Amino acid sequence: MRIDILSVVPELLTSPFSHSILKRAIAANLVEVHVHNIRDWSVNKHKTVDDYPYGGGAGMVMMVEPIVACIEDLSSQRKYDEIIYMSPDGELFDQPIANRLSMQKNIMILCGHYKGVDERVREKFITREISIGNYVLSGGELAAAVVADSIIRLLPGVLNDETSALSDSFQDNLLAPPVYTRPAEFRGMKVPDVLLSGHAAEIDKWRHDQSVKRTQERRPELLKNE
């Protein structure tokens, strides 16, 4: 899989892909992540990427030309399954969307900044708009990193234990059960006996029961979707 991220502040996307699981996934060639500076496609002398909004008002708007030049340049090199714009008014990101995107080959993600991008970019060049929650960020970079992270960890071979992603919250509409590691007792707080019992079937049952209980308590609406 290949993910291309378009940004006017590409520096913001350095760290998320330089450590831990995502770094190892890239090093193992399980995914390619390319971050592009939209400014490189600006043709004017000062490499401008934003301008004042028509109609007036506060804030700048990301210009249509450099973004479209960048999208068209990349699209001439390979076919993209999705060209995503990160936006607070997009569809709310969740695990099923991450699952579906993880099955694509090439994805482009456009990060907005300032007041967002010229509407004509969204109308003609974007295939999908995603919000990571009902709040406003100063730019789409952190949101793009969230989406990319959740996709990449689903790719075969990225997590050491292949079944690990399947036992995470939201797969099967259930939240994950509690987890423990050593010591078996800390300040009088004991790890549940069943986890120390070595009985795989009982442990599975306990974990499932805990998942259901936790989901009922915290996110009952997930059970209704089943």
Site for ligand SAH in 65-94 (CB under 6 A): 86-89
Q: Write the binding mask 156 to 195 for ligand SAH: x where contact by CB under 6 A, - elsewhere.
A: ----------------------------------------
Nearer to ligand SAH by C-beta: 2 or 115?
Answer: 115
115 near ligand SAH (CB under 6 A): yes
Listed ranges 33-41, 99-107, 109-117, 183-191: which one lies at the site for ligand SAH (CB under 6 A): 109-117
Nearer to ligand SAH by C-beta: 17 or 85?
Answer: 85
Nearer to ligand SAH by C-beta: 22 or 50?
Answer: 50
Listed ranges 136-144, 154-162, 176-184, 208-216: which one lies at the site for ligand SAH (CB under 6 A): 136-144
Tokens 């760290």 found at? 15
7 near ligand SAH (CB under 6 A): no
126 near ligand SAH (CB under 6 A): no
Among 13, 143, 154, 174, binds ligand SAH (CB under 6 A): 143
**What DSSP letter does each residue of the chain carry, written as one string?**
-EEEEEES-GGGGTGGGSSHHHHHHHHTTS-EEEEEEGGGG--STT---EEPPTT--SS-EE-HHHHHHHHHHHHTTS--SEEEEEEEEEEEP-HHHHHHHTT-SEEEEEPPBTT-B-HHHHHHH-SEEEESSSS--SBSHHHHHHHHHHHHTTSTTSSSSTTTGGGSTTGGG-PPPP---S-SEETTEEPPHHHHS--HHHHHHHHHHHHHHHHHHH-HHHHHT-
User: Please, what is the minimum distance in Å from the beta carbon of residue 9 to ligand SAH?
Assistant: 11
Chain residues in the site for ligand SAH (CB under 6 A): 86-89, 111-113, 115-116, 131-133, 135-137, 139-140, 143
